[in-house]
């Protein structure tokens, strides 16, 4: 394995690429098989996710946009920012910034002093965001940061100014509760007293609303899920036949947990050249690719239990589908 690992390292993302390899090896050697949803987001995956955010079934983005567009003043009020002090506005998983732009425009108009620091795993998404912000808000001070949330927190910790952290879009929902507790604890420990977090989470609701968001008519979510196989073909020289797998989303309404799987349609063997290995899939075998957790107040309390964070405010959209919580350290 060592030699083939070395051979394929590409200069741009050395560590990332070898992490991908190690994670694929681990996930496809496990029973049941799994792959991390963070690997959806390459250039193709980013574009598919933008399409997802624009689909009628994917209510999450519209609901949170409703809050950012129509409750901007309440949101900024909840953040308790002193207009005379410089602060850092850090967004974890910034994506295309559609919702955040509403907040940025407001802060800009009201003469708040701040630097916007969008963090994303995708350099491609950051480049697109920086370009569009330079056009729309030419005076905005921006510093992009590429990386995994967990790793980026180390850098954020050393920033001296007061901070507002945006963690929107129910991105936290890709973590299971145990991981979310650890993450929020780590996040809390990177903050100073009175720093704020805006945590956007999807609220538990019925299956007839949630499931279509992960199983749209046009099949965009299916392509998004399959992109993880396509990405292994591209980057790890694998030979996955995308037609030999189906997209299978599930939602448990009592727990409020949506999950996505890829299911092998047939008995098959796939070769991943870069790992110098083959993997067997039996008919109907699943690969778990994503969890999209939904929340309520008590689940959130449980996740924040051992942190120094307190819920200061809760803003919801007009349909009560989604909530942005303001947390105070
Ligand atoms: C970006 C993690 C919030 O789980 O709803 C959308 C990703 N996956 N459709 C979500 C996603 C399938 C999304 N998050």
pLDDT at 219 over 90: yes
Q: Determine the average pLDDT of the residues in 70-98.
A: 94
**What is the whole-number distance in angstroms between the Cα of residue 292 and the centre of ligand 1?**
6
Pocket test residue of 290, 294, 295 for ligand 1, highest count of atoms within 8 A of CB: 290
Question: Is any atom of ligand 1 closer than 6 Å to the C-beta of 52?
Answer: yes
Q: How confident is the model at residue 14 (pLDDT cuts 50, 70, 90)?
A: low
Residues 262-316 have pLDDT tens digits of: 999 999 999 999 999 999 999 999 999 999 999 999 999 999 999 999 999 999 9
Question: Is any atom of ligand 1 closer than 6 Å to the C-beta of 290?
Answer: yes
**What is the whole-number distance in angstroms between the Cα of residue 36 and the centre of ligand 1?**
12
Ligand 1 atom closest to the Cα of residue 174 is 2
**What percent of the chain is modeled with pLDDT above 70?**
95
Question: Is any atom of ligand 1 closer than 6 Å to the C-beta of 174?
Answer: yes
Only one residue has tokens 């890829």, namely 262
Residues 151-188 have pLDDT tens digits of: 889 899 999 999 999 999 999 999 999 999 999 999 99
Q: Is the ipTM of this complex over 0.90?
A: yes
For 66-98, b/e burial (b = at least 16 CB within 10 A) is: bbbbebbeebbebbebeeeeebbbbbbbbbbbb
Q: How confident is the model at residue 4 (pLDDT cuts 50, 70, 90)?
A: very low
**What is the whole-number distance in angstroms between the Cα of residue 173 and the centre of ligand 1?**
8
pLDDT, residue 180, reads 97
Which residues touch 243 (CB under 8 Å, ≥6 apart)? 265
Nearest CA to ligand 1 atom 2: 171
Query: Distance between CA atoms of 147 and 135, rounded to whole angstroms?
Result: 24
pTM of whole model > 0.90? yes
pLDDT, residue 305, reads 97
């Amino acid at each position: 394995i060592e030699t083939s690992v070395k051979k394929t390292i590409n200069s741009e993302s050395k560590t990332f690429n070898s992490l991908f390899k190690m994670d694929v090896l681990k996930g496809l050697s496990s029973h049941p098989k799994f792959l991390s949803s963070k690997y959806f987001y390459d250039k193709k995956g980013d574009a598919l996710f933008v399409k997802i955010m624009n689909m009628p079934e994917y209510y999450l983005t519209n609901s949170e946009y409703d809050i950012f567009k129509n409750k901007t003043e309440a949101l900024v009020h909840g953040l308790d920012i002193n207009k005379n002090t410089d602060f850092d506005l850090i967004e974890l998983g910034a994506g295309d910034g559609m919702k955040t732009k509403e907040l940025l425009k407001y802060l800009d108009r009201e003469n708040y002093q701040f630097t916007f620091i969008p963090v994303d795993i995708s350099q491609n998404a950051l480049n697109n965001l920086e370009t569009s912000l330079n056009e729309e808000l030419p005076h905005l001070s921006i510093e992009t940061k590429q990386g995994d949330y967990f790793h980026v927190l180390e850098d954020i910790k050393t920033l001296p100014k007061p901070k507002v952290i945006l963690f929107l879009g129910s991105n936290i929902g890709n973590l299971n509760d145990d991981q979310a507790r650890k993450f929020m604890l780590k996040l809390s420990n990177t903050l100073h007293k009175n720093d704020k977090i805006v945590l956007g989470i999807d609220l538990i609701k019925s299956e007839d609303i949630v499931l279509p968001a992960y199983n749209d008519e046009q099949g965009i979510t299916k392509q998004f899920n399959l992109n993880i196989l396509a990405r292994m073909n591209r980057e790890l020289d694998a030979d996955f036949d995308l037609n030999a797998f189906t997209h299978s989303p599930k939602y448990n309404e009592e727990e409020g947990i949506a999950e996505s799987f890829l299911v092998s349609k047939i008995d098959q063997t796939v070769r991943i050249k870069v790992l110098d290995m083959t993997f067997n899939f039996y008919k109907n075998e699943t690969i778990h690719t994503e969890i999209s957790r939904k929340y309520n107040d008590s689940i959130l309390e449980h996740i924040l239990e051992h942190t120094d964070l307190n819920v200061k405010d809760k803003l919801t959209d007009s349909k009560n589908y989604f909530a942005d919580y303001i947390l105070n350290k």
